């Protein structure tokens, strides 16, 4: 297990018991050892080489006659990847299971897009490469690529930060605390102005 991945019960290194308690009850993404569900077909999309390895390892358990579509992208989010993912999701039929593997920030954005197309949680298999080899219910706690939703100007941005860390919004220059709450529709951690945060 890497330093960036911690159990939901432990909290981040050196964190107080209160911080650990917050993480137990928040919406921070938890990562489980992935299992391949039965399906009429699979769509596997990976972001970066580590995502590809994990997606292909999972697909090795697929029944041979079940159709599998795959798509590989760079390890970051961009407009071309979004457009292609929209096309692939638009072609999905009932009974598909969608595998998304790569860095947490990209996987959560892809999952949010899949939900816009009507995918349910049961139809999504999400794999964060930072949590590779992690046990059940662990989260990425150390410095990692994260999408942060600024509560001041209401615009998201990408940054490398730890939960509880302070970052600066590039849109409005507000100092923000990366909160222990996550919005799945925005695929982002909430960033609260540091001077107003009451949840530390």
Same domain, 172 and 117: no
The answer to whether residue 35 is domain-embedded is no
Instruction: Let me know if 29 is exposed, middle or buried by CB neighbors in 10 A (0-12, 13-18, 19+).
Output: buried
> Which residue range forms the structural domain that includes residue 51?
41-131
Angle at 104 between CA 198 and CA 115, to 5 degrees: 90
Q: Last residue of some domain: 111, 131, 151?
A: 131
Question: What is the pLDDT at residue 86?
Answer: 97
What pLDDT sits at residue 192?
93
Q: Which DSSP string do the residues of 96-107 spell out, in sequence order?
A: EEEEEEE-HHHH
CA torsion, ordered 122, 124, 128, 132, to nearest 10 deg: 60
What pLDDT, on a 0 to 100 scale, did the predictor assign at position 13?
A: 41
> Do residues 163 and 179 make contact, with C-beta atoms less than 8 angstroms apart?
yes
Contact criterion met (CB below 8 Å) for 86 and 118: no
Domain end call among 92, 114, 131: 131
**pTM of the entire predicted model:** 0.83
Distance separating alpha carbons of residues 148 and 137, to the nearest angstrom: 22
What is the mean pLDDT for each group of 10 consecutive residues in the chain (200 residues)?
40 45 72 92 97 96 95 95 97 96 96 96 94 71 92 95 95 94 94 72
The total number of structural domains that make up the chain: 2
């Amino acid at each position: 297990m890497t330093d960036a991945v911690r159990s939901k019960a432990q909290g981040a290194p050196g964190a107080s018991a209160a911080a650990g308690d917050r993480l137990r009850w928040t919406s921070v993404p938890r990562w489980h050892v992935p299992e391949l569900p039965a399906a009429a077909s699979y769509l596997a999309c990976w972001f970066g080489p580590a995502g590809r390895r994990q997606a292909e390892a999972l697909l090795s358990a697929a029944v041979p006659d079940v159709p599998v579509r795959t798509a590989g992208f760079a390890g970051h989010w961009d407009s071309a990847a979004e457009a292609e993912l929209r096309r692939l999701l638009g072609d999905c039929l009932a009974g598909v299971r969608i595998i998304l593997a790569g860095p947490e920030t990209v996987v959560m954005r892809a999952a949010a897009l899949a939900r816009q197309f009507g995918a349910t949680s049961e139809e999504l298999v999400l794999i964060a490469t930072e949590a590779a080899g992690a046990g059940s219910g662990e989260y990425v706690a150390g410095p990692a690529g994260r999408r942060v939703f600024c509560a001041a100007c209401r615009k998201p941005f990408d940054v490398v930060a730890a939960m509880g860390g302070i970052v600066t919004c590039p849109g409005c220059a507000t100092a923000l605390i990366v909160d222990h709450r996550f919005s799945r529709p925005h695929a982002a951690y909430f960033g609260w102005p540091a001077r107003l945060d009451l949840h530390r």
